[in-house]
Structure 1
Amino acid sequence: MTNYKDGVIRDGSTLGAGKSLGNLKGGIIRDGSTVGAGKALGNVKDGVIRNGSTVGAGTAIGNVKDGVVRNGSTLGAGNARGKVSDYTIKGIEREYDAEIVAVYHFLIKKFL
């Protein structure tokens, strides 16, 4: 079980418990154990998930529109890969849909 608390994603079953997998801050997903620290793995801007280290930069690998996850490079384009609810972890429900999916892709299991 994976959880999210205060910007840090952990592999424990209780919020805030477990080994740190990475963090999310300002649309950038990093592999560090402290918010804002670590190597940038990817980013999210306007519903598009990218593999670059700066918000909006890098190759687009997927997008999220109206709760549907797609593997296209522009918003709403591409083959459907599921719904946001398929990739939601405990505690992250209040974040943007594209950030939820990006955290799952970069830190838990690559699927895009």
Structure 2
Amino acid sequence: MTIQTTRLSDPAVRAFVAAVNAHDREAFRALLAPGATMADDGDDRNLDQWIDQEIFSSNGHMEVDNESNGGRALIARYRNDTWGEMRTRWDFTVDEDGRIARFETGQA
């Protein structure tokens, strides 16, 4: 069963999912802490390049099925025009200012 984005527990993670699904690059960038990093399937990636390819230029969309760790760990069905749909895990590190310092994703 999908969890509505508005019902996600962590405000930063909720805003992240909303920005992805709205294809709002500006809102997405505003959520990230300065120097934010990310990894995909365990490999650190270039953040700007990855979000362009995997989210914004390929119509990325998340449907969250499960959350844990106070809303900072998600299991979601993620789809984009490049890869289709897959079951993914997302783990977020949120800094003291409520911005995302790091996220890690990969197949669940």
Shared fold, TM over 0.5: no
TM-score by length of 1: 0.30
Q: Hey, which of these two has a bigger chunk of strand by percent?
A: 2
Q: Hey, which of these two has a bigger chunk of helix by percent?
A: 2
TM-score by length of 2: 0.30
Greater relative CO (CA pairs within 8 A, separation 6+): 2
